[in-house]
Amino acid sequence: MNARKRAAAVALLTAGLVGVVSADDLHAWVVGWLPVVDTVIRQRPVLGVAVFVVLSALSAMLFFVSSAVFVPVAVFVWGTGVSTVLLLAGWILGGVFAYTVSRHLGRAVVNALVSTSWLDWAEARFTRSAPFGLVLLFQLAVPSEVPGYVLGLLRYPFWKYLAVVGIGELPFAAATIYLGTGFIERRIVLLVGVGAALAAFSGTMLWMLQRRVREPAGNTTQPDDEPT
């Protein structure tokens, strides 16, 4: 995935949210379920928090699980501040679990969980002694499920990885919560503004990463979904 495609994917998600918000009946139907879910969660508050954090962790580990589905529920129930903390905690937990799985179970297991072309691309360019700033850029630039698996395979120092994932996921957590808020409150300007900023930021980070890492000698193949 290149920088342009990465930005386009974010823009497409934002357009989808704006489309639902613009459709009165559809938006009313979706938001109408939020008080129902709120009542259920408040009857089991600890379980509600645990489920949200686990779902957030899964979204950080598996590319086909998206936080966008359940973030509006969190914003409605807990507000923006608590939701941001819980979402970030879940993403960090998912990253740590991905790191642990890859570090202890190895490439054979990881191949079933994440794109092998992403793994090949990253393993050819990073080592366990890679500079912290470069690894942070990697975290900011690529899909969130990739760095944990790659850095675990490389045995990158755990405490450095924990700092990388915490810092790297923070802006995305904040942006995701704002998107959820804009969706609930039907604030199209907020949705478009945050979506545009997120698309520009994601595309720029990937563009910068592509220029920081060098093509390994003798590597002439490029997988279809490689970030070039």
Could you read off the pLDDT of 76-101 as tens digits, one per residue? 999 999 999 999 999 999 999 999 99
Residues of the chain with pLDDT under 50: 1, 64, 217-224, 226-228
Would you say residue 75 lies in a domain?
yes
φ, ψ dihedrals at 40, nearest 5°:
-65, -45
Measured in whole angstroms, the distance separating CA 214 from the mean position of its chain's CA atoms is 25
pLDDT at 214: 64
Q: Is residue 15 part of a domain?
A: yes
Give residue 65's identity as a one-letter amino acid code.
V
Answer yes or no: is 153 within a domain. yes
Q: How far is Cα 22 from Cα 192, in angstroms, rounded to an integer?
A: 12
Q: Residues 190-223: pLDDT tens digits?
A: 999 998 898 888 888 988 988 888 655 444 343 4
Phi, psi of 170, deg, nearest 5:
-60, -50
Residues of the domain holding 76:
3-212
For residue 179, being part of any structural domain is answered with: yes
Check residue 63 and give its pLDDT: 57
Residue 227 within a domain: no
Q: Has residue 128 been placed in a domain?
A: yes
Supply the pLDDT for residue 6: 65
Domains contained in the chain, number = 1
Write the single-letter amino acid at 128: R
The string of DSSP codes covering 111-130 is: TTTS-HHHHHHHHTT--TT-
Phi and psi at 5, nearest 5°, equal -70, -35
Query: Can you state the angle between helices 45-61 and 145-153, rounded to 10 degrees?
Result: 70
The reported pLDDT for the residue numbered 8 is 74
Cα angle, residue 157 at apex, residues 60 and 90 outer, rounded to 5°: 20
What was the pLDDT predicted at 120?
Answer: 84
At 111, give phi and psi (nearest 5°). -55, -25
The answer to whether residue 222 is domain-embedded is no
Supply the pTM of this predicted model.
Answer: 0.86
Sequence letter at residue 49 = V
Identify whether 184 is part of a domain. yes
d(CA 4, CA 6): 5
